[in-house]
Copies of this chain bind each other. A is one copy, B any other.
Amino acid sequence: MSATWGRKFKITIFGESHGSHIGIVLDGVPSGTKIDMDSIIEEMDRRAPGRNDISTARRESDSPEIISGIFEGRATGAPLTMIIKNKDHRSNDYSQVRDIMRPGHADYSSREKYKGFNDYRGSGHFSGRITAPLVFVGAIAKQILEEKDIYISSHIASVKNIKDEKFSEETLNKEVFKRLKKESLPLLNKSKREIIHRKIIEAKEEGDSLGGTVECSVVGLKAGVGDPFFESIESVISSLMFSIPAVKGIEFGSGFDMSKMLGSQANDEFYYDLDDKVRTRTNHNGGINGGISNGMPIVFTLAIKAPSSISKKQRSINLKTKSNQDFELKGRHDPIIIPRVIPVVEACAAISILDCLLVDGSEIKW
């Protein structure tokens, strides 16, 4: 527990990497919402593996099948369910993980939790593959938000110690967002592409992997959305983001850098712009004051650890023999997961913000 998240836009995920299907139930999509399958497939393809030389060659077939909640191309308002059939089982690749606990993975912690009954093949329910259904729902959420002129985008903020620039007023626009969506290594500063690509290929050749950070922004959200304390926008977004395997940190606006600022620097001063719209001169708070949006872009950055699956020899334990044991992980692995995590991050941002908006909009319709 719990496989269910959300207050008004509620999702329930299920499935294991090597089970028969993975999928999701979405409860709360407004009736009449047009479901554009093309843009759903487009988003899901961004997450799919095997698209280029920096991604694992395993070829999953992520063809989503909607089995409830749609009638004549539109959401009925009843629960919308999507399943994906798992095709690429080859479970022999994973037989060794039954007894040897892979470092960085949930093998040991989940085995303790479930008393050994968990499906250990390919991380089972803990597989990154379970994020595919999140991208499916995120694509629907994006469609709904875009009708309200709310747009979400993200880019690689860093790989190892190589940094991209941060989002700024110049880059927070639809053209840039469109470009970022198409790139296999979405960067604001394209000159960093080559060195990052080289680092990835190096790690791949050494059987190692790389981490980094992702910056995400939501533009177009009006002031006054979100709640104090337990349902602050930060609380809602972070609770969902930490559901994404490999996320180990989140900061809003200037985040950890903000901790080094004086109050006089960190405070985002308000002003009326030429159109008499309230804005802030800086956006260190990432568009959120007291848990509630202030009308500036929502900005947050995630720390993504390097994929735990590497080919290099590692030390670990064998629970069967109850002894320490070195091992090498067979199979092909992603040397970096960030490009594939990016659509998941955007999906979770879309789901979070849409849920906040639907909660916020509650009032008697009459």
Contact = CB atoms under 8 A, between A and B. Distances in A.
Q: How many copies does the complex hold?
A: 4
A158 interface: yes
B32 A12 contact: no
Nearest to A281: B315
A25 B14 contact: yes
A115 interface: yes
B255 A1 contact: no
Interface in A202-240: 203, 208-213, 222-232, 234-236, 238-240
Given A76-B124, A280-B103, A365-B360, A3 B27 contact: yes
Contacts of A161: 260
Interface string A141-168: 0001000100000000010110000000
B228 A363 contact: no
Given A105-B290, A238-B235, A16 B255 contact: no
B25 A3 contact: yes
A278 B10 contact: no
Interface size on A, as a range, is 35 or more
A105 B289 contact: yes
Contact of A317 (B109, B253, B270, B293): B270
B272 A322 contact: yes
Scoring A65, A225, A230, A285 by chain B CB atoms within 10 A of each residue's CB, the highest score goes to A230
Given A113-B224, A119-B71, A239-B239, A160 B361 contact: no
A340 to B, nearest CB: 15
A249 interface: yes
A68 B293 CA distance: 24
A312 interface: yes
Contacts of A243: 229-230, 232, 235, 291
A104 interface: yes
A160 B260 contact: yes
Given A15-B81, A113-B292, A259 B304 contact: yes
Nearest to A324: B271
Contacts of A19: 67-71
Contacts of A265: 306
B31 A117 contact: yes
Contacts of A229: 3, 5, 13, 130, 243
A350 interface: no
B117 A32 contact: yes
A336 B129 CA distance: 44
Given A27-B3, A250-B249, A262-B210, A316 B270 contact: yes
B264 A68 contact: no
Interface string A316-347: 11000011100000000000000000000000
Given A68-B15, A79-B14, A232-B243, A364 B364 contact: no
15 contacts: A1-B8, A2-B28, A3-B229, A12-B12, A15-B79, A21-B68, A109-B292, A158-B259, A211-B259, A249-B255, A256-B303, A258-B305, A259-B305, A272-B317, A358-B363
